[in-house]
Amino acid sequence: MSEAYDMVIRGGKVATGSDVFDADIGVTGESIVAIGKALAPARRELDARGKLVLPGGIDSHCHIEQLSANGMLNADTFESATTSAAFGGTTTVIPFAAQHRGMQLREVVADYHKLAERGAVIDYAFHMIIANPTRETLERDIPALVETGHASLKLFMTYDRLKVEDEELLDVLAVARRSGAMVCVHAENHGAISWMVKRLLAQGHTAPRFHAASHARMAESEAINRLIEMAALIGQPIMVYHVSTAEGAAVIRAARGRGQKVFAETCPQYLFLTEQDLDRPGVEGAKWMCSPPLRLASDQEALWRAIALADIQTVSSDHAPYRLDASGKYPSGEKSTFKEIANGMPGVEARLPLLFDAMISKGRLGLRRFVEVTATAPAQIYNLERKGSIAVGMDADIVVWDPDKEVALTDAMMHDRAEYSPYAGRRLRGWPVTVISRGRTVIDAGSLKVAPGSGKFLARSGGEAARPASLDGTGPSGEALRALVW
């Protein structure tokens, strides 16, 4: 008698964003085909007794094999970054196809596809960074690429070579509305940051610890508020990336309270680290430099409250690895100023274990909320239709967690190429021991089991989250606005 399934995961405690229950899971091919008790035998049996069986994590904000606007390539390839993600329990990533000034968006997206096709070991989609919003980009490339499954755009409101001005931001919001795409934004006030940086450097304040002071708190809350007002004018849904302050979270809560379609994420660095981590001897603090910068313990609590209230729906890594040498963090060696140092830190592998330890092992918000913010919500917001939950018909993206396994994080145990972890020295309880992607065992017994290039591209439409809201204004002026946008 042939086996009924290719794989059965037996006896585990299964969790989704809405329920927790004991069950077996039957997998055939790439899909979950049965959930129940005492399922029939399978070609492969996986004993999950005493373990938690959770949906594979979705990291919807990570930088992989990406060229910066300054011409600096981050440390990871698609092979190393997705391998690192998989070891941490992530089965889907959404990195960036990064356009810079003067680049053709279609060519940029094609180039990143080639890199991912060669190296990715898990599934992936792309956000398109728009830094060259020419008529060709807006009228030809964005609509065509959204039509082929690239249904999310990223904009920067800061950085000299990446920022879009307010009028350009409105142009992109209007094109996204017409095309059915989500718009994701790094929201900080560029002028305020530039003003602070010049004055700090002029006074000789060059060490990494001054990076936090250079990004005034109001730079985030003002930019988020401005972004929200412009999105309301167009009626376009937005995602606010890496919220770091209590004030930023409050602006988002107020907009959502008015019924505006605003989504938000934060990152582990803003939940587990503070600006005190930047205050190290010499330039060592560069390891903890990211933008927005690390904030205060009081901001951590405000962000946890925002997650509990669902004002922040996702927690992504913003994985941005740079080596600890002249090609990365230290372009001028020991004399590198905070202005020169590459902003970003690795975290794609540590993200889920850190959150598991805080939310499940230590009891903050619990198991269902952990699944929601790390898998279900990003799948829904970015329209990954077969991802983010354990249900019949979904992709068999499943992670078996040992809730009692304790691990001390070290630099050496990470599988990315940054050469360090900003979380080294932390002891965590709960660890992913088996990682399955589309029915393939990717990680088991501490080893990678699949080949580079075996991950698949996930074409996406904008979905319900990107469906436009009503345009701002009523009466004749509102009608005029609708005519302009459409």
Strands (E), 267-320: 314-315
Residue 474 has pLDDT above 50, yes or no: no
3-class DSSP assignment, residue 312: coil
Backbone angles phi, psi at 444, to 5 degrees: -155, 140
Helices 475-485 and 166-179 meet at what angle, rounded to 10?
80
3-class DSSP assignment, residue 101: coil
166 with 226: CB under 8 angstroms? yes
With a pLDDT cut of 70, the percent of the chain lying above it is 96
Residue 478 has pLDDT above 80, yes or no: no
Residues in the chain: 486
For the chain, the distance separating the N- and C-terminal CA atoms, rounded to the nearest angstrom, is 61
Backbone angles phi, psi at 237, to 5 degrees: -65, 145
Residue 336 has pLDDT above 80, yes or no: yes
Identify the pLDDT of residue 479.
55
21 with 54: CB under 8 angstroms? no
Identify the pLDDT of residue 71.
74
Helices 105-119 and 78-87 meet at what angle, rounded to 10?
60
Report how far residue 234's alpha carbon sits from residue 236's, in angstroms, rounded to the nearest whole number: 5
Average pLDDT over residues 405-431: 97
Report how far residue 248's alpha carbon sits from residue 187's, in angstroms, rounded to the nearest whole number: 10
Residue 475 has pLDDT above 90, yes or no: no
Report how far residue 372's alpha carbon sits from residue 233's, in angstroms, rounded to the nearest whole number: 30
Place of tokens 């938690």: 52
Report how far residue 422's alpha carbon sits from residue 412's, in angstroms, rounded to the nearest whole number: 12
pLDDT in tens, 100-148: 988 999 999 999 999 999 999 999 999 999 999 999 999 999 999 999 9
Report how far residue 292's alpha carbon sits from residue 188's, in angstroms, rounded to the nearest whole number: 8
Omega into 237 within 30° of 0, i.e. cis?
no
What pLDDT band is residue 72 in, cutting at 50, 70 and 90? confident
3-class DSSP assignment, residue 80: helix
Query: CA Rg, the chain, in Å?
Result: 22
Omega into 268 within 30° of 0, i.e. cis?
no
pLDDT in tens, 207-266: 999 999 999 999 999 999 999 999 999 999 999 999 999 999 999 999 999 999 999 999
What pLDDT band is residue 360 in, cutting at 50, 70 and 90? very high
Report how far residue 77's alpha carbon sits from residue 82's, in angstroms, rounded to the nearest whole number: 8
Residue 428 has pLDDT above 90, yes or no: yes
pLDDT in tens, 313-329: 999 999 999 999 998 89
pLDDT in tens, 436-464: 999 999 999 999 999 999 999 999 999 99
Residue 481 has pLDDT above 80, yes or no: no
Q: Which two tokens stand for residue 383?
A: 């329209």
Query: What are residue 103's DSSP bridge partners?
Result: none
| Inter-CA distances, 405 with 34, 433, 475, Å | 28, 9, 62
Show me where the domains of the chain are located.
Answer: 57-374
Does this model's pTM top 0.85?
yes
- Structural class in CATH, domain 57-374: alpha beta
Report how far residue 242's alpha carbon sits from residue 442's, in angstroms, rounded to the nearest whole number: 29
Residue 140 DSSP label: I
Average pLDDT, the chain: 95
pLDDT in tens, 76-100: 999 999 999 999 999 999 999 999 9
Helices 190-202 and 217-234 meet at what angle, rounded to 10?
160
Strands (E), 134-181: 152-156
| Inter-CA distances, 130 with 32, 34, 224, Å | 37, 42, 18
